[in-house]
Structure 1
Amino acid sequence: MRSFLLLAMLCLAVTTLTAQKISVKGHLVDTLNAPMPSATILLLNPKDSSLVNFKVTDAKGFFEIKNLAINVYLVKVMYIGFKTYLQKIEAEPNSTEIDLGKIKMQPANNELEAIEIEADRAPVTVKRDTIEFNAGSFKTKENAVVEDLLKKLPGVEVDSEGNIRAQGEQVQKITVDEKEFFGTDPKLATRNLPAEAVNKVQLFDTKSDQAAFSGIDDGKRLKTINLELKEEKRKGAFGTFKGGVGTDDRFQVQASVNKFSKTKQFSFLGMANNVNELGFSITDYMNFTGGSQQLMRGGPIRIEVNNGNQDGVPLDFGNRANGIMSTYAGGLNFNNEFNSKTEVRGSYFFNYLDHNTNQTTVRENFLPDGAFRFNQSSAHYNANINHRANVILDHKFDSANSLKLTTTITYNETETNSRSISNNLNEENIVTNGSERLSLAKGINVTLNTSLLWRHRFARKGRTLSANLQYGLTSADRNGKLDARNTYYEQQQPTDVINQVNEQQNMANNYSSTVSYTEPLGNRKYLEANYTFRQALNEVDREVYDLNNGEENFNAQLSNKYNSNYQYHRPGLNFRIVRSNYNFLIGGSFQLTNLSGEMELQDADISRSFQNVLPALRFNYDFSSTKHLIFNYETSVQEPSIQQLQPVLDNSDPLNLYVGNAKLRPAYSQVWRLMYTTFNPAKLVNFFASVNLDYTTNAITNAQYIDEQLVRTSTPVNVENNMNFSSNFNLGFPLEKLKSRLDFSVNFSNQKTIAVLNDLQNEIYQYVMGGVARYNFTYKEVFNLDLSADLSRQLLQYQFDQPNQTFTNLTYVAQATLSFLQNFQFGANFEYLTYENKATNFNPKIPLLNLSLSKLMLRDNKGELRFSVNNMLDEAMGVSQTATINYLEQQTTNSLGRYFTISFIYSLNKQLNPMGRVPRGNAIRMRR
């Protein structure tokens, strides 16, 4: 595979270097000879005004466009507030350079009457703190979605789950025309909106609501992407319809219809398929069913380090969910600005998931005095129905007062059915115990969260008062059945038969209020005082009954009735300095926490009280609009959950038990973050670096106890401390001679955790070093090639007598699209994954290949007929590997094998796009 990558890049280099090249350069100044940075320089073909290349002037107003074929060009220079500059150029014989010298830009005539202008758009522009990408300058395949477009943008990464990172930071919010789209699920926008509907992709850091209201920059940032639609898409409905059928009864149907205007938005989404494709997040489903265990990746391997407290660092590869999943979903989204003062936004979304998996598990357990092996074969069925709705009302009474009401309601109904056969074998490979288990569960979970935010701005600038009231309600009912037979061979004990039913009701009410007051001290210095009160009332009623000859006998040991009152008071004070290029904050808060709980069946009380000082320090420095330095120091308290505090036995897996701990203390976390980001729009070079340190005292982890019968019991305990150091570096730049782009990322982390095994504390050290290299080559509208290599090497070292674990994972990806005969397109996606575990000689190699052939048809290419073969090499199995403090687990799961599909895609109102019939980058006409 390495030879293939080198050969591909060598061939591209040879073909592009065979012809003589020239360069065009110049110096842009205004009428006073002052340099003009960040001006847009377009190089056009004079025959049809198509875009050949572009540059942005540097800080001193200079530009240079290199590696151009000898030809006649039209130079076009644009700068806001100045007249457009045009000049036709042609290289002299035997010349390698065209020097335009000093170009003086003339101020524009700001007349108010309507005029017709011709506007060209540069691929990238910078507007203060916003980086703006012209979507039409980044080639995507026909009928691509926004996610495909984002993958093409410099400095933006999209993983196989659809999670987005921009300039090294996680993108947490996506808006459409600056309005929310289906609430807070970004995948509903990126995986359902067509890429061709987007005019611009704007990347920026959103300030907090409090900063936006008060005008005082508090240094808090939320990485945000706004999708600005094309003007013509706001004048009529647009969308996409897709339908397809395949072998093995595979099918896929999807529809997206949108009607937008400047003040109104309306969208409908619908989808149904049984090919494991999702266009939304499935958090509720994963929370109920166990998440990572139920949805491990197909084909590739999941390698996870987990010390029992679910804070491990997973290395996740691949883009297919395991098992066989059927999906049915649909929803509506609306935004309406009634007037300049009142706006209402809302959405409703429904989804149904049907998921079947078959798994085989082999677990090597390491003990201080020996080892044993656990084997299991299991089958799981999970079905989930989810409804969620949200409404936001934003009203401005006047320039000084505003009110914002936000309400979210979710309804989640889940059914699970799990069957398994398992046993444990000692070091002599003799079976010591075995279990056959059937577990059934049905549950309904309803949540309501609402908040009311009132804000007042005083006459003196910087003096503000705000109050936020919040209420949350959670109601959960779950019924289950457990039928298990446990046999213990070495102890000569009789077979243990468990036949139980259980019912559980949870009711939680949460109330909180926050009041914040800011006072200007002069010279852009501010003092902020805040106070937060929160109260959480919880009631848990779990009843377990043993079934015997058709009779139900109450099991008091496994049952529990628990109620708790968790409340805290947190006053705080911050001092802030705000300057044009930096802001600084130092402050803190004091949190007084009280927890009172009563376990009725055990006649026991749980009453705890905690006090914590929470200091904070933040410093942001802006070298320019595209260069930022950020340092944060923050502290927080992680309170024990209700489930962790209840000392009640959970025997849903008889060989792996769980019991809570009423003596848990809260964990205290200190986090240091140092980040530097820069983006050069003139050269399309992006760089990001971050260094992070997390240090947690009184960390909560799951202690494990393994008895003579090899039955594992887990319970949460406090340990002295856990530490995690991580760093990440990203660099991306174009290769102009190759008409290509390279992106690199390097990461390193060192994590130390303390785990408890049979009352002995042990330290585990995890070292991870890895990196990703990506290469992209695009030849006009004809050919696109993406190559990537992903390397991760992981070392686990243990304090007690257990062999170290070393994992090396390599993932190669090659994606290509070829357009030919005008309306035909061929696509290929090949992934080759290799993994190595030196301790167990586990070294699988997994190839995944998808191919497609499509033909565009109908007027304006509105239709597409596509034939696809998925998983052509028929790798119908997923593999995962998990390493923890005392065991190594390898698991295989069924997955979709090879299948063929034929589908038809129709783009609604594609003809509204005036760029649809001309090459990308051509001029468009507009009025202002």
Structure 2
Amino acid sequence: MKKLIQVLLVLGLGILHAQAQSQQGKIKGQLTDKATKEAMPSATIVLLNAKDSTVALTTLTDTKGNFELAAVPFGAYRLYISFLGFKPVNRPLTVDADHKELALGNITMETKGVTLSTVEILEEKPPVVVKKDTVEFNADAFKTRENAVVEDLLKKLPGVTVDRDGAITAHGENVTKVLVDGKPFFGGDPKLATKNLPANIIDKVQVIDRKSDQAQFTGIDDGQTEKTINITIKKDKKKGIFGRATAGYGTDDRFAANLSLNVFRDTKQISLLGGGNNVNNLGYSMQDQISFASAGGGGGMRGARGMISNLGGGGGGGGITRNWNTGLNFSDQIGKKATFTGSYFFNDTKTSTESNSRKQTFVGDSFIVNNNNGGSLSDNANNRFQGRLEYNIDSMHSLIFEPNLSITNANSHSQTNNISYNNLGDTLNKGTTINDGTGQSINYGGNLLLRKRFNKRGRSMSLSINFNRSENDQENINRSSYTFYNPDSISMFNQRNTVNSTNSSIRANLTYTEPLWRDNYLELNYGITRSENNNNKYTYDFNDVKGEYDAFNDSLSNVFTNTTFNHRGGINIRTVKLKYDYSFGVNLIYNNLNNVNYSYLKQKDTTITQHTLNFAPQANFNYAFSRNKRLSINYNGNTTQPTVQQLAPVPDNSNPLYIQLGNPDLKPSYDNRISLHYHVVNPDNYRSIMTQVSGSFGTNKIVNSITLDPKSGRQTVKPINVNGYFSVDARVSNSWPLSKTPGQNLNTMSYASYNRDVNVTSGKINYTNRLTITQSANLSYFYKELFDAGVGGSVNYSRSNNTISTGNIGLTNYFDYNINADINFNLPLSFMIGTDITCTMNRGRTPGYNLTSTMWNANISKYITKKKDAMIKVQAFDILRQYISVSRTVADNYIIDTQNNVLQQYFMVSFTYFLNKFAAPTPRGGREGRMMFGPGGPGGRGGGMRRF
């Protein structure tokens, strides 16, 4: 069945492609100055569809004034040619079977502008514009389906990919924030913006290497950048009410409902979201509840590092999730000087998971296997508020304040059954662990940035203050019963522990910049940070006589306080030239750490004080070969403080086979990172390439020291500081245009990484070497208004070995393969059909985990009104019932293969209503709203030209 589907898909694409090729022509010519007869390079050539003046193709003339538009579909067009300071040329023409190659010969242009009698083009908007740190796409040049959302538009942009779960990658880097008109939308959560805002209101999509607010103000790069997308709203869509509401019900009591309502009025934006479903569709990014997913603990992965590869066809991954959510986003300009953006979002997520796993732990020339099966049920309710106030006090002073608050209530239940044996087949232990927990986490804080410019250009001062505090209260019940066979013994415990912890930090940083001489600037900065972590853990054993937890366990209880003072002072020099800029400097970091631990077992305090001093140089170099080609080289050093969980000396025995200890003697780690970026974007043909090479190394990295008892199979881990690690990786992202039509792209990504990690196993240094190679390709194609498709695939190879093992023990080689296709057809009578297929395979893993997953979904929908504001849809999910979820984790001296339960086949019928009401645009000179066009009249989308 799978092969038949793939063959039909290839044949269908081939037939459509061949048909399209047979009905295409070519237009070419040369552009010269009528007065001087000289060639005119870099003039803009735009081919407009005659019926609605939308952009069909665009190009630029070469150095000799020649241009060519290839693969032009048969039809009637207008050729529009523009060059600054010259009269635009507007010429009708037709490409058909009798005129497949139009040689226009020499076209001359005259100086000075004229007014067109039938077409008034006030502003030309090319599909792609490249700026210093921004690639800007004109949304109208990339066609999307009726009532599409922003996510559908992003999938058509060169160099941008969106995976099944909605995660965005731009030029090979993960997009961490999405802004609307430069302002956060629900705190900048990418999925809340891209899955809810309609595509037809978008004017531009800007992919930005966004610098910090501090660096944007001073102009001196601090090395803090994040890949951000800013979507700007069309001027005629800034006043209106729009949104959509969907309700659906399916087999097995599956349901899905969501509402998106937006009220925009000039600078004011109000957005309301709400919904619920039990089909694993979150539609937002998990934030605070990730670290609080299991109040009962029982991890066994604290401090683990390594590679995680997944096999799954979509639908939210492993487990079955029921989710309710609602949120409100508000943004407005207050007077002429201030802008406020705030959002509130609530979600309640309940996840049921059943899993089987196999863990291999390597010890010299042998290994230990742990086979686990079990299940868990977790319920997390999270409220979060985020705000941003920007106040321009005057031309010299500004203020930015960003408060935040998050409250999470969680409860969980989990049960794990385990059996362990060695490589000889001898059973070491077997048993069951049950964890139940409830808890609450409150996080709040804020950032304040005060900025001042002086009359002397380049002189500035800024003060940033950051405060954060978290309060966590948990109560956990841990019950365990294990039988050990060498020697024979039984270990049982039934305990309740309460954990109360608070973490707070306040940081202040003062920065001053001063111009030195022409194009050179000096930056001085000083910052101080104080953080305090308190962790109180009280453990009680179950009293069988009284039937309650009242026996205090002093060996598993203590009070721990960690206080850190951090001083950071630095100097940087920045030089700015026409084509390049660079900065270099050094920071001096002094850290004073004070740990106080009260042990109930020893009835005394233990105090540990540490002082560390680090030099952290940094350097940045940027060179612009041209407006479209840039090179960037960066180096920076940074320190990382140990967490309170790593410092706390009280054992965590929630997993009796994986006892976790703390280490109050831990030192801060220091990391050096070097990166090189090379980015080329050709706005003429949408071709782009991004190359990134980076490496890191450092000292005092915090890793696990593992002590393994080969007889019982029990492990005890303790975090320690080590040296000798490094990593290097390289990534090349390409976007290849398939034609001159925007939106038809082939995006490829090549990635390779090699890293060496260090840990200590049974007192011996163990180096783990890992190699990862990934190649992926994604194709976006559409044919007129009838058909659009996305086809892609990837291959991932991973190899890992460690020095503590001998022979082939500890050596792993495995592959992950992925093939996917998403195809949609527009049919007569307002019918639409679509299907998507994802096939994932893994090979080279543990027997029983070399599995293949095929996810095939399909849908048919129809607009039931002439205005296309109401739609009925029938969906089929996992038609073949062959979807599974498998993942592999490689870390330290072990490998874990896991298979989770998944949401499988169901069918659903849904109804969607679209609301689109916008105010008429304000006329220029009191008369706007009048559209002037020649033959063909108005209609369709803007196609890259703003029309009046």
CA distance in 1, matches of 2:883, 2:649: 42
- Among 841, 862, 866, the residue aligned to 1:859: 866
- One-letter amino acid matched to 1:529: L
CA distance in 1, matches of 2:379, 2:938: 46
Match in the other structure for 2:425: 429
- Among 850, 854, 865, the residue aligned to 1:847: 854
- Among 267, 272, 275, the residue aligned to 2:276: 272
CA distance in 1, matches of 2:30, 2:208: 30
Q: 1:61 to 1:607 in 2, by over 3 A?
A: farther
Q: 1:546 to 1:62 in 2, by over 3 A?
A: farther
- One-letter amino acid matched to 1:226: N
Query: Secondary structure in 2 aligned to 1:710?
Result: coil
CA distance in 2, matches of 1:455, 1:737: 46
Q: Does structure 1 residue 188 correspond to structure 2 residue 184?
A: no
Match in the other structure for 2:925: none
Q: Does structure 1 residue 382 correspond to structure 2 residue 378?
A: yes
Match in the other structure for 2:56: 52
CA distance in 2, matches of 1:608, 1:30: 79
Match in the other structure for 1:534: 529
1:704: how far off?
Answer: 1.5
Aligned residues: 912
Residues 502-581 of structure 1: pairs in structure 2 closer than 5 A:
502-549=497-544, 550-551=547-548, 552-581=550-579
CA distance in 2, matches of 1:369, 1:218: 48
Contact 2:819 2:838 in 1 (8 A): yes
Q: 1:630 to 1:37 in 2, by over 3 A?
A: farther
Q: 1:42 to 1:597 in 2, by over 3 A?
A: same
Query: Secondary structure in 2 aligned to 1:649?
Result: coil
Match in the other structure for 1:625: 627
The two structures, once aligned, show a CA RMSD in angstroms of 3.0
Residues 642-661 of structure 1: pairs in structure 2 closer than 5 A:
642-661=644-663
- Among 429, 452, 456, the residue aligned to 1:456: 452
For normalisation by structure 2, the TM-score amounts to 0.90
Contact 1:118 1:923 in 2 (8 A): no
Match in the other structure for 1:18: 22
CA distance in 1, matches of 2:503, 2:904: 44
CA distance in 2, matches of 1:49, 1:236: 25
- Among 103, 113, 117, the residue aligned to 1:98: 103
CA distance in 1, matches of 2:740, 2:622: 37
Contact 1:208 1:220 in 2 (8 A): yes
Query: Secondary structure in 1 aligned to 2:555?
Result: coil
Q: 1:334 to 1:95 in 2, by over 3 A?
A: closer
CA distance in 2, matches of 1:574, 1:533: 18
Match in the other structure for 1:809: 816
Residues 224-239 of structure 1: pairs in structure 2 closer than 5 A:
224-239=228-243
Contact 1:449 1:472 in 2 (8 A): yes
Match in the other structure for 1:719: 722
- One-letter amino acid matched to 1:596: N
Of the structure 1 ranges 496-505 and 67-76, higher mean CA displacement relative to structure 2 is found in 67-76
- One-letter amino acid matched to 1:886: N
CA distance in 2, matches of 1:294, 1:237: 49
- Identify unmatched segments of 5+ residues in structure 1: 296-305
Q: Does structure 1 residue 168 correspond to structure 2 residue 172?
A: yes
1:90: how far off?
Answer: 5.3
Residues 432-511 of structure 1: pairs in structure 2 closer than 5 A:
432-493=428-489, 495-511=490-506
CA offsets 1:576-626 (integer angstroms, 9 cap, x no match): 101222111110111010110111125211211111000111101122222
Match in the other structure for 1:693: 695
Contact 1:82 1:107 in 2 (8 A): yes
1:38: how far off?
Answer: 5.9
1:34: how far off?
Answer: 8.4
- Among 834, 837, 843, the residue aligned to 1:836: 843
Query: Secondary structure in 2 aligned to 1:650?
Result: coil
- Among 628, 640, 643, the residue aligned to 1:641: 643
Q: 1:741 to 1:616 in 2, by over 3 A?
A: same
Contact 1:881 1:889 in 2 (8 A): yes
Q: 1:490 to 1:621 in 2, by over 3 A?
A: same
Contact 2:637 2:671 in 1 (8 A): yes
Q: 1:239 to 1:28 in 2, by over 3 A?
A: farther
CA distance in 1, matches of 2:584, 2:745: 42
Contact 1:692 1:725 in 2 (8 A): yes
Q: Does structure 1 residue 786 correspond to structure 2 residue 780?
A: no
- Among 854, 876, 882, the residue aligned to 1:869: 876
CA offsets 1:476-506 (integer angstroms, 9 cap, x no match): 111111111122233122x222111111111
1:422: how far off?
Answer: 1.3
Q: 1:118 to 1:610 in 2, by over 3 A?
A: closer
- Among 140, 144, 157, the residue aligned to 2:161: 157
CA distance in 1, matches of 2:252, 2:500: 41
Match in the other structure for 2:152: 148
CA offsets 1:363-399 (integer angstroms, 9 cap, x no match): 2333214223212221101101111112222222211
Match in the other structure for 1:263: 267
Of the structure 1 ranges 501-510 and 118-127, higher mean CA displacement relative to structure 2 is found in 118-127
CA distance in 1, matches of 2:100, 2:240: 51
- One-letter amino acid matched to 1:693: G
Of the structure 1 ranges 1-10 and 683-692, higher mean CA displacement relative to structure 2 is found in 1-10
Q: 1:277 to 1:267 in 2, by over 3 A?
A: same
Contact 2:527 2:569 in 1 (8 A): yes
Match in the other structure for 1:327: 323
CA distance in 1, matches of 2:436, 2:472: 17
Q: 1:649 to 1:638 in 2, by over 3 A?
A: same
Contact 2:304 2:891 in 1 (8 A): no
Of the structure 1 ranges 341-350 and 732-741, higher mean CA displacement relative to structure 2 is found in 732-741
CA distance in 2, matches of 1:128, 1:25: 32
Q: 1:618 to 1:377 in 2, by over 3 A?
A: same
- One-letter amino acid matched to 1:234: K
CA distance in 2, matches of 1:793, 1:17: 37
Query: Secondary structure in 1 aligned to 2:280?
Result: coil
CA distance in 1, matches of 2:301, 2:654: 21
- One-letter amino acid matched to 2:855: L
1:403: how far off?
Answer: 2.0
CA distance in 2, matches of 1:894, 1:374: 19
Of the structure 1 ranges 178-187 and 892-901, higher mean CA displacement relative to structure 2 is found in 178-187
Contact 1:529 1:573 in 2 (8 A): yes
Match in the other structure for 1:607: 609
Q: For CA contacts below 8 A with separation 6 or more, give which structure has more relative contact order.
A: 2
Q: 1:239 to 1:363 in 2, by over 3 A?
A: same
- One-letter amino acid matched to 2:509: T
- One-letter amino acid matched to 2:706: Q
Match in the other structure for 1:65: 69
- One-letter amino acid matched to 1:468: S
Of the structure 1 ranges 74-83 and 561-570, higher mean CA displacement relative to structure 2 is found in 74-83
- One-letter amino acid matched to 1:134: N
- Identify unmatched segments of 5+ residues in structure 2: 921-928, 932-936
- One-letter amino acid matched to 1:132: E
CA distance in 1, matches of 2:393, 2:100: 67
Match in the other structure for 2:781: 777
Contact 2:309 2:887 in 1 (8 A): no
CA distance in 2, matches of 1:664, 1:732: 46
Report sequence identity in percent. Answer: 32
Query: Secondary structure in 2 aligned to 1:665?
Result: coil
Q: 1:91 to 1:479 in 2, by over 3 A?
A: closer
Query: Secondary structure in 1 aligned to 2:152?
Result: helix
Contact 1:28 1:62 in 2 (8 A): no
Query: Secondary structure in 1 aligned to 2:187?
Result: coil
CA offsets 1:794-849 (integer angstroms, 9 cap, x no match): 11122222241111111011110011114011100001112111675853121110
1:255: how far off?
Answer: 0.6
Match in the other structure for 1:313: 307
